[in-house]
Structure 1
Amino acid sequence: MKQLFISDLHLKSLDDPVSQRFWDFLENIAPSADELYILGDFFEVWIGDDAQNNLSKTVAEKLRQLKEHHQVTLYFMAGNRDFLIGQDYCQQAGMIRLNDPYPLPSNPSILLSHGDEQCTSDIEYQKVRQMLRDPKWQDSFLSQPLEQRIAFAKQARTQSKEHQEGYELTDLSPDAMIKQLQQYGAQLLIHGHTHQPKLEAIESNNKGHSFERLTLSDWDHDIYYAEIIDDSPPNLIKFS
């Protein structure tokens, strides 16, 4: 079995270079896989499955072709940008939606996550995240007219850009990662969110236990994806 893991494409438009890189990946890399896991921030913004555009429709069509023509099973986990992607769009694209975190069934020692939940030192962000992931808030937001949701998204994006000026993305907390890994009986966390591709040990005060993390890249510059073949350890591979 060959499993591939990607995250943080932040797809914005059909003519964006990242979109072309993704088409190349789907044509040249993904067809050889048995499973493809997309671990969040697939799209830059998502305001509801009813707000379709040419980009989202094209992505869904290409993913479904990958599934039907090459028998690749597709999995999607929401990130902090696209947490409102629902079952309707996942069905349209042929993807199975995963909870966060998610133990890898073929190897329970591996835990999958987008990663933002483990950024516990960013207290203000965690407060906002808790509100946005509340099903009641989501139902209320999605019930609003499309024009209001578009206006909200634009305002939120402007505020986010202002907040990010001179701001470095908060890394995942080692304690939070280890706590979650222990909760699921896993040793390795594969995640995105921080855009710093690497495979490294997680420092732990708990002697006798070793934990690792594999961080996936964004797709703006150097692109890395993770690959697992059968029971071998995961590899971080540069895509060019």
Structure 2
Amino acid sequence: MQPLGLQSSLPQQLADALRVRIRAKEWGPGQQLPTEAELVVRYGISRATVRQAIKDLEGQGLVVVQRGRGTFMAEGTRIHAGMQELASISATIAQMGLEPSMRYRHRIVRAATAAELRQFDLPVGGKVVDIQRKILADGQTVAFSYDILPRWVFPARFRTSELRGSVFGFLADHDGPRPARALAEVHAVRSDTIGWDEETDGHQLYILLDQMQVDDQNRRFMHSRSFFLEGRFNFTVVRTR
């Protein structure tokens, strides 16, 4: 038996443990995961806990549940994210067992526009951090992200060159605001001006996730427009009765 810890709910702990095994490529695309009974014995938990954890993984598009047969790894190498999940793109890629990375077009501090002053409730003369980057999974571009954050979000002596990975991760490491909820819209976009590299010259269809991140003090602290390349990054919605 491999008992789970006490840090969070049992279904969440089991889902996290299985994600670790998925990242380690213990099962390949289309391969079957252990049965409910096997997971119950290995982790010393109930079937209800196993089912809830599997539902979590299914919501992320990591696994496919075939009734009467079992749970199988999703086919292919596309990235899947649950539409209800509030996590960084880098974290989502890592959960799929792929290596996230990013390349920046620019990271600058500039004066906020009139719209941004209203958007973030900033005083006249307020500044924002403007980030444009492409996000990769195992070296392949999966999204272009355009992010705007008010300057107060970052430490006083912050330099934009310090941003090298997940913005959420940087803020968490520097006692910045953390996302409690997001107000999001999803659109299909066709454009030949969003991407800025040769790899995407012929890839003009994107899924736009336009969202405003809000922290636990109800402060709007990050407006993101993330353009996901259609066919490389899929969003999943699990609907139940």
Bigger radius of gyration among the two: 2
TM-score normalised by structure 2 residue count: 0.28
TM-score normalised by structure 1 residue count: 0.29
Q: Which has more strand, going by share of residues?
A: 2
